[in-house]
Amino acid sequence: MNIITAEQAPVFNFDGVEFTGYAAPSRGSGELCAWQIRVGGNHDSAAPHTLDHDEVFLVTSGRLRFGPDGPAVAAGDCAIVPAGEPLQLSNPDDQDATAYVLIRAGFSAKLADGTAFGTPPWAA
């Protein structure tokens, strides 16, 4: 068993979003990745991206949108973004929003222009 304490969990910042890494291959999980995101108030991600596996978001505070025209998902709700569907994260409110994110280990991302991004560091 591997335990990752809050103090040990690495923190990354990308495109205005804070990622706190928990489960990942580099932290002892060979099949599943999990992290927490914190999205500042009134934040809009720069551009959409896609992933090659389904991604699950469990919103724990505030509200988040996963596409420019998508509904706001509130605390206690779950959003599942299917593999290949464009994802563009935004927070429509003034206060921070948080969510836990789950995805299969070894996934990779592509930017809107098709450029391969690979696996981000919080999930490696």
Whether the pLDDT of residue 110 is over 90: the answer is yes
pLDDT tens-place string over residues 21-48: 999 999 999 999 999 999 999 999 988 9
Task: Tell me phi and psi for residue 26, to 5 degrees.
Answer: -70, -10
Whether the pLDDT of residue 117 is over 90: the answer is no
Helices H / strands E in the chain, number of each: 0, 11
pLDDT range class, residue 18, cuts 50, 70, 90: very high
pLDDT tens-place string over residues 65-77: 999 888 999 999 9
Q: Which amino acid is at 116?
A: A
- Say if CB 19 and CB 122 are below 8 A apart: yes
Q: Map out the domains of the chain with their CATH numbers.
A: 11-118 (2.60.120.10)
pLDDT for position 69: 85
